[in-house]
Structure 1
């Protein structure tokens, strides 16, 4: 008999991985997620469609009834929007997945900062604020620059760097424009940024991919390269910091994606998630290490994967670079076919078609597209990806309805901040 798993918010590639592992699957979707599925995405999977933000007891009762008939080996998700539901079901069914308490710490950044500071793990000076005066008080006490951002969220959304007391007013106006009643203030961490994707086996954390990161406008990520170029002692320090952090928040099993700054005082955690990293990190990890993070996380959750003995060895390097474009109506795209045809290209994707309006980059999904490449080293891969990205030219012109589109974009951005902020729903789980 095949092992059975419950997948929360799985997209078609995750369903295909489950079939490849010969797993019986029950899916949990919101109505919107279910409607967006391609017609051929589902084959023999059972689906539970449950409205978001409704009484979670109803969902638990339905999934528990399915579990009682044929038990699940685990509840798994790789989507940020699914982590709270997966934790709720793991706890309710008594399964060995990530708990609601851990997800609460990873989802609520202020809760995480207090918790890790109490344990002396990657402490970063932080406070919650709701007014311009509180921003200035924090800046006076801790020094500038500082960071202001939503208490919860992802995709580099709503982050502001405040360089001085004079700059606080405009930052506060921008935060207020997002309808944020409270926001998090943190000391600004100076240094290169990296990320670590790991897989944990009953409390033993195995870092798999460490990526160098390129950030752009508004801290939106515009590139990654694997493996990160770290000397052995710093790499060991990074791995120890991530392990200590995961221990502190109670993450014992499954995937994690942790973002860090390499400061003069040592690595400091920015945030972490109990899922694999986005931005094609899974594609690059598979190319360099031969490990599909989604498949490995699913296989471990289903009891089909033997624990990794240690970190895998890298075979070459990989990089992704995201295309930049001037906002406006897209008239033409030049150089895309030539760049796509390069032998080092693994993936090539354009997010906009001619005739569409390209918005200002306010979050990750505003980027114009990307190219993923492999090469002998991470440095060579990054150079190649940047060279190919520079060949792709997006020709835009002012749109007659640009002001209207801009206003709609700002409203959508405000709505996205609210949608991605899961903090209001954390307390119901803990």
Structure 2
């Protein structure tokens, strides 16, 4: 008899992975998600459609009824918007997995900062704020630069780096314009930024991939390279910092994605998630290590994956670079075939079609597209990706005066899940 798994907000690739593993999948979708799903993506999947973000009790009641008829082996998601729902269901149905308490810590960054400070686990000075005076007071106490950002956001939305007192007013106005009335204020951590994707097996944390990242406009991520070029001692310190963090928040099983800064005082955690990383990190990890993070996480959750005995060894390197285009109506993209057909290109995608309006970059989905390449070393992969991206030309024309913030306000509200932690 096939094992049954409940997938929260699964995209078509996740549904395909469940099929490859021989699982009987039940998909939980919001009405908006099911409308966007390709017609044939879930034809063999029992789909439950409900606004689960706003009705957690209905979600639990509905899935409990299905579980009583044909039990689930696990509830799984790799989407940030689904992690709270998956944790609620795992707790309510007694399925183990990552608890709601742990996911609440990872989702609400203020809660996470206080929790880590109580345990002395890589504490970062932080405060909650809602006024310009809160920002100024924190800056006077801790010093500049500092960071102000949503309490529970993702995809680089709304992050403000404030270099000094003269920038407080502008940063506060930007936060208010984006509908961010309550924000986290943190000391600025100086140093290169990396991310770590790991898989945990009953409290034993195995780091799979460490990615070095490049940020650009509005602190949005514009590139990653795997493996990050770290020396042995620093790599060991990073693995230790991640293990300490995961232990502190109580994450014992499954996927995790932890973001850190390599400061002069050592690796410091920015934030963490109980899912795999985005930005094509799964594609690069599979290319370099032969490990599909999504499939591995799903396999472990349902009991079909053996523990990794040790960290995997890299075979080559991979890099992703994201395109930034001049805002305006897209006329054409030049040199697409030359770039897409390069033998080292593993993935290539342009996010906009001719006639679409390309916005200014405020968050990750404003980027104009991406390419993923493989090479022998991290330096070669990063250089090749940048060189190929430079060959593309996005030709745009003016699309009207001003910028519409309504879409970004909606995105901030959607991504900031702090209210759902107690909902």
TM class by shorter chain equals: over 0.9
Q: Is the 8 A contact 2:318 2:375 kept in 1?
A: yes
1:421 pairs with 2:416: yes
User: 1:337-382: CA deviations, max 9, x gaps?
Assistant: 1011110000000011111111100000000100100000111011
Gaps of 5+ in 2: none
Q: Where in structure 2 are the equivalents of 1:324-343 lying within 5 Å?
A: 324-343=324-343
Q: Distance in 2 between matches of 1:209 and 1:246?
A: 16
1:154 maps to: 154
Q: Is the 8 A contact 1:150 1:159 kept in 2?
A: yes
2:183 maps to: 183
2:243 maps to: 243
* SS of residue paired to 2:166: coil
Q: Is the 8 A contact 1:96 1:253 kept in 2?
A: no
* SS of residue paired to 1:166: helix
Q: Distance in 2 between matches of 1:64 and 1:397?
A: 53
Offset of residue 66 of structure 1: 1.3
1:13 pairs with 2:13: yes
2:295 maps to: 295
1:39 maps to: 39
Offset of residue 203 of structure 1: 0.7
Offset of residue 179 of structure 1: 2.1
Offset of residue 402 of structure 1: 4.0
Instruction: Indicate the RMSD between aligned Cα atoms, in angstroms.
Output: 0.9
User: 1:268-325: CA deviations, max 9, x gaps?
Assistant: 0001110000000000000000000000001111110001011000000000001121
Offset of residue 69 of structure 1: 1.7
TM normalised by structure 2 equals 0.99
**Distance 1:53-1:43 versus aligned 2 partners, 3 A rule:** closer
* SS of residue paired to 1:167: helix
Q: Is the 8 A contact 2:317 2:374 kept in 1?
A: yes
Q: Where in structure 2 are the equivalents of 1:6-155 lying within 5 Å?
A: 6-155=6-155
Q: Distance in 1 between matches of 2:291 and 2:53?
A: 35
Of 219-228 and 326-335, more deviation after overlay is shown by: 326-335
Q: Distance in 2 between matches of 1:52 and 1:86?
A: 10
1:393 maps to: 393
1:315 pairs with 2:315: yes
Offset of residue 134 of structure 1: 1.2
Q: Is the 8 A contact 2:102 2:249 kept in 1?
A: yes
Aligned residue pairs total: 423
2:363 maps to: 363
Q: Distance in 1 between matches of 2:232 and 2:17?
A: 34
Q: Distance in 2 between matches of 1:208 and 1:349?
A: 26
User: 1:72-101: CA deviations, max 9, x gaps?
Assistant: 111100000100110010000011211110
Q: Distance in 2 between matches of 1:87 and 1:186?
A: 27
User: 1:128-155: CA deviations, max 9, x gaps?
Assistant: 0111111111001100000000101100
Gaps of 5+ in 1: none
Q: Distance in 2 between matches of 1:155 and 1:418?
A: 13
Q: Is the 8 A contact 2:52 2:59 kept in 1?
A: no
* SS of residue paired to 1:127: strand
Offset of residue 52 of structure 1: 3.6
Q: Distance in 1 between matches of 2:10 and 2:332?
A: 34
Q: Distance in 1 between matches of 2:79 and 2:234?
A: 30
Q: Is the 8 A contact 2:52 2:58 kept in 1?
A: no
User: 1:153-200: CA deviations, max 9, x gaps?
Assistant: 100000000011111011111111122221100000000000000001
Q: Distance in 2 between matches of 1:336 and 1:166?
A: 43
User: 1:7-39: CA deviations, max 9, x gaps?
Assistant: 111011100000000001111111111111111
